[in-house]
A and B are shown apart, each in its own frame.
Chain A
Amino acid sequence: MTNAIRVENLSKAYQLGDFGTGTISRDVERFWAKVRGKEDPFLKIGEVNDRTTRSGSDIVWSLKDLNFDIEQGDAVGVIGRNGAGKSTLLKILSRVTSPTTGTVRMKGRIASLLEVGTGFHPELTGKENIYLNGAILGMRRTEIKRKFDEIVDFAGVDRYIDTPVKRYSSGMYVRLAFAVAAHLESEILVVDEVLAVGDAEFQKKCLGKIGDVSKGEGRTVLFVSHNMSSVSKICNNAILLTNGKLSCSGPVNSIIGDYLRDAKTTQSVFDILPPLNKQDLPGYAMRVQIEDREGNAAGEIPVGKLWQIRVSFKINRPVNHFIIGIGITTQMDVNLRTAWSSKTNLEEGYYEAVVVENNLLLSAGFYKITLGLSSKEHTFHYVEDAALFTISHLKDDSLDSTILRIDNSGIILNPMLIDISKQS
């Protein structure tokens, strides 16, 4: 595979605050340093970009020393918190602004979709705007003409095509705008979070189109979104930015996992913060431990293996009809299942409950556990995200070969009974 994009030592500094009388002296100073061939005096004092802390310097590094390669045909998700530098990166890649230091090299044409409907003129009709927008995005007139019907068809606004776009509903506007951009012919496509608008059906269509672009047509896609399920659907790789730095890159699901749990540790024991009124409660959970079926603490479970959870809890006073319930949610917050123990009556003291997964095989990713302790109908201690565990692609030859271990094969990997018989 050859590289489509190479980013080397990429940094971008921004000046915070207002521009006015105060900043002109600095500009003169910078200019003077440049004339004399000296280094820019203000870039030296730049700070890491953490939007939450206030500081003395008003130069921040929105991106700092980024290095990565992207292979041709890859669909790469760029993820990170607000202000991590995602949009700055895309702006530099799409040549809207230039970096402070470093270089980006690219092969082929690049089309960027940082916003839908850029350059749409409200007074012009849909048709006129298709041409204008297409041209702004770098298409030739003949190219747009050739694809015109396809664009209108994709947008589904045939009826309104000769109406000024200011009369469009916002959804129609976005449909038309995305349709134009989706029909760009470029080797590299850069997409910022533009799909937040539009109805569900159209969002699905857009994601499908972006997916086609990378998988079907072999073009390179960079995709920024906070919607992890879209990222994991479209992308095969991801890079995670933290405060302008590249914190990790790799296969999309493991990077999303890192991002969502915000740490790379594979922890197996989780202490639960005791509730404030712990003495008043009938009881409370103290600790959760993830284990393999042999009872060894394990932060990571290989795909296809079963596992168990050991919950330690304390009962303050005798409880009738005690039930412990656990829930499992995926990293995308999909509720997967809930399980309850049968009712028992408990004396006061320390207890342990072992919850055994004896059936369900989960695909690689990380999962969150929610705990609940209740008595009769009343839940007295409820802990969301009490523990995390990772199912990972560890190699294990003892597994049943019908268990799929490929990406995107779904959450549940239990084999189904598939019977093949010859018909006469």
Chain B
Amino acid sequence: MNKLPEEDWDIEITSEHRLFDLRLKDTWHYRDLLLLLVRRDFVSFYKQTILGPIWFFIQPIFTILIYNLVFNNLAQIPTDGIPAPIFYLAGTILWNYFADCLTKTSTVFKDNAAVMGKVYFPRLIMPLSIVLSNLVRLAVQFILFLILMGIEWGKGHAIAPNAGLMLFPVLILIIAALGLGMGMMISAVTTKYRDLAFVVTFGVPLLMYTTTVIYPLSTAVAKYPAYSWLIKFNPLTAVIETLRYGFLGRGNFSWGLLGYSASVTAVILLLGIITFNKIEKTFVDTV
């Protein structure tokens, strides 16, 4: 048989896979799908609701109201001299972004088994779309944050935005990468054994208390100097503190802590990609 012209195959399917073969070219080709999935998530969120996209605001507003009542008034936890609502909002929207990215990504194979079992597309698109969809939500909620900032500033509160807010995109990147990385690691394991999924459901809300969403780092350090490393250990602490520092002028900002967060995130993302890659080719058989 004449083999010469036949050897330039376009697609080769084998059982082997390389650790870092992300098929980025493929993923780029499917960029429209990414955008359409984000759009789908956004549009289907408020279909058949009366208030529509306003629901994006209602959730954080009620959260900070309750936090204000419980943690500030009842438990008397100080807020670093920042007005309590905006202090909580800063922490909440960032934490929610992380939590949503993590929980949604960790079940990505299970949730999308029906689609992924029937059509090929670069699997990375799905977690990426989750991160992007939630980013849209974060952006909407961030508008609320800016409005609240303006109100408090108008009332004459000491709010001092500074050069630190230039780091905002970096902060978002760290959160997204962290949520994505951890989520992908968990998703890879939960396709076959669901145990870890339970850990995520009760663990993520608990994890919130080890980061500075409802209290400032300064108070934690002052009260429990011996255990404050535990809170600093959480890579999100530095991110939230940096945001508060940049926009509100209060908070513990240190390059060291932020650098630590960034490096931990990089390692987790890398591990996440490796595990995700390993599992994506055959997860259909075990999900």
A interface residue numbers (CB < 8 A to B): 2-3, 6, 14-15, 19, 23-24, 27, 91-110, 112, 114-115, 118-119, 121, 123-124, 128, 131-132, 135-141, 164
Known: A104-B12, A106-B11, A123-B44. A97 touches B6 (CB 8 A): no
Cβ–Cβ < 8 Å partners of B37 in chain A: 132
The residue from A3, A6, A94, A103 contacting B14, defined by CB atoms under 8 A apart: A103
- Which residue of chain A has the shortest Cβ distance to B117 in the bound complex? A96
Which residue in chain A gives the minimum CB-CB distance to B43? A124
Contacts of B117 in A (CB 8 A): 91, 96
Whether the Cβ atoms of B193 and A98 lie closer than 8 Å is no
Tell me, yes or no, whether B285 is within 8 Å of chain A by CB.
yes
Beta-carbon contact of A98 and B36 below 8 Å? no
Q: Nearest chain-A residue to B12 (Cβ)?
A: A105
Q: Are B15 and A98 in contact (CB under 8 A)?
A: yes
A112-B6 contact in complex given A92-B13, A98-B282, C-beta closer than 8 Å:
no
B201 at the A interface (CB under 8 A): no
Partner of A128, one of B12, B32, B40, B121: B40
Q: A91-B284, A123-B47, A128-B39 are in contact. List 15 more A-B contacts (CB 8 A).
A: A19-B193, A92-B13, A95-B120, A96-B119, A102-B14, A104-B13, A106-B11, A107-B11, A112-B120, A114-B118, A123-B44, A124-B40, A132-B33, A135-B33, A141-B32
* Residue contact B11 to A105, C-beta cutoff 8 Å: yes
Contact B118 A97 (CB under 8 A): no
Is B192 positioned at the interface, with any CB of A under 8 Å from its CB? yes
8 Å CB contact of A121 from B6, B8, B15, B40? B40
- Which of B8, B40, B118 has the most chain A CB atoms inside 10 A of its CB? B118
- With the chains together, A131 CA to B44 CA distance in Å? 15
Structural contact, B115 and A2, CB atoms closer than 8 A:
no
Assess whether A99 is in contact with B13, with CB atoms less than 8 Å apart: yes
A-B contact pairs, 23 of them (CB 8 A): A14-B285, A19-B193, A91-B117, A91-B284, A93-B13, A94-B119, A98-B282, A101-B15, A102-B14, A104-B14, A105-B12, A107-B9, A112-B120, A114-B119, A119-B119, A128-B39, A132-B36, A132-B40, A135-B30, A136-B33, A136-B119, A137-B119, A138-B121
Is B9's CB under 8 angstroms from A105's CB? yes
Task: Enumerate chain A residues within 8 angstroms of B21, measured Cβ to Cβ.
Answer: none
**Residues of A close to B118: CB separation below 8 A:** 96, 112, 114-115, 118
From B5, B115, B282, B286, A19 is in contact (CB under 8 Å) with B286
Among B10, B36, B286, residue most surrounded by chain A Cβ atoms (within 10 Å): B36
B residues near A139, Cβ cutoff 8 Å: 32
Known contacts A2-B5, A96-B120, A112-B120; A136/B15 CB under 8 A: no
Task: Give the size of the chain B interface in residues (CB under 8 angstroms).
Answer: 38
Expressed in whole angstroms, the minimum distance between the Cβ of B38 and any Cβ of chain A is 11
Interface contact B36-A135, CB-CB below 8 Å: yes
User: In chain B between 89 and 122, which residues have their CB closer than 8 angstroms to a CB of chain A?
Assistant: 114-121
Chain B, residue nearest A164 (CB): B47
Cα of A123 to Cα of B48 in the assembled complex, Å: 9
Q: A103-B14, A132-B37, A136-B115 are in contact. Are A97 and B282 (CB under 8 A)?
A: yes
Interchain CB contact under 8 A, B284 and A97 = yes
Q: Which of B33, B39, B193, B284 has the most CB of A within 10 A?
A: B33
Beyond A19-B193, A136-B33, whether A98 also contacts B10 by CB under 8 A is no
B157 within 8 A of partner (CB): no
Could you mark each residue 258-285 of chain B with 1 if its beta carbon is under 8 Å from any beta carbon of chain A, else 0?
A: 0000000000000000000000011011
- Which among A2, A96, A140 is the interface contact of B6 at CB below 8 angstroms? A2
Contact B13 A95, beta carbon cutoff 8 Å: yes
B13 & A103 in contact (Cβ 8 Å cutoff): yes
A-contacting residues, B180-239, CB 8 Å: 192-193
Q: Which residues of A contact B282 (CB under 8 A)?
A: 97-98
Report Cα–Cα, A18/B29, bound state, in Å. 37
